[in-house]
Every structure is written in structure tokens, then in C-alpha cells.
């Protein structure tokens, strides 16, 4: 009986520690993701939501990699580069449409200057 109580005591404490630690990690990922999103407030509310979500998702990557930041630094850079390419591509398409607007091209945006 004392051996069973001892084993139960150890397992209960182990589970309590794991639950607390896991809960603390989850809370830390959410808090740091929210701060990461707020740091991108210049992007508007959608930018805050997107970067905050990415921050929350990158938190477990940092934890799983032994707190190595290089994976998320590279991921952040690749994400920024992809968004830049999308922005340039969209700007070029808009410029092409606006340049062709005077030549009678249909469906040219009405906000071309």
C-alpha cells in the first residue's frame, strides 16, 4: 500500500508539473504572439491579426527547436519577401492597367491617376 501511494504521489506531481509547464508554454506563446502582432500595428488591424497569428504559430517552433530563433528568423524573412513580391506584382499589374486605360482597355480600374 505505501508503495502504491508513493507511485500515485509521484505520478500526480509529474502530471501537475507537465500540465502547469505546458499551460505556461501555451500562455507564453499567446502573449508573445500578441506582442509580435502589436509590434506590427503600422500595418492596420488585419496586419496585426496576421502577424499575431504567425507569432503564436512560431512560438512552438522556437520551443521545439530548443529555443533556437534561427528557424523563425528565416521564416519571418521568407514571409516578408513573399509579401514584397506579391506587392510588387500587384503594383505592376495596376500600373499596366492604368497605363492602358487611356487606350480604351475595358475593365481598367477607376482609381487610375
Per residue in 59-101, pLDDT (tens digit) is 999 888 988 989 999 988 998 899 888 888 888 888 777 765 5
Distance CA 38, CA 24 (A): 21
Task: Name the residue among 54, 52, 86 with its Cα closest to residue 71.
Answer: 54
Distance CA 17, CA 64 (A): 18
3-class SS of residue 69: coil
Say what the pTM is: 0.60
Q: Position of cell 491617376?
A: 113
pLDDT of 31: 92
Amino acid at each position: 500500500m505505501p508503495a502504491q501511494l508513493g507511485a500515485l504521489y509521484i505520478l500526480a506531481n509529474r502530471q501537475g508539473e507537465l500540465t502547469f509547464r505546458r499551460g505556461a508554454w501555451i500562455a507564453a506563446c499567446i502573449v508573445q504572439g500578441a506582442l509580435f502582432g502589436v509590434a506590427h500595428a503600422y500595418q492596420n488591424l488585419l496586419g496585426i491579426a496576421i502577424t499575431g497569428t504567425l507569432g503564436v504559430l512560431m512560438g512552438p517552433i522556437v520551443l521545439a527547436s530548443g529555443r533556437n530563433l534561427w528557424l523563425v528568423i528565416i521564416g519571418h524573412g521568407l514571409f516578408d519577401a513573399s509579401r514584397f513580391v506579391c506587392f510588387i506584382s500587384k503594383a505592376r499589374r495596376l500600373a499596366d492597367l492604368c497605363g492602358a486605360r487611356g487606350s480604351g482597355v475595358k475593365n481598367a480600374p477607376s482609381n487610375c491617376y
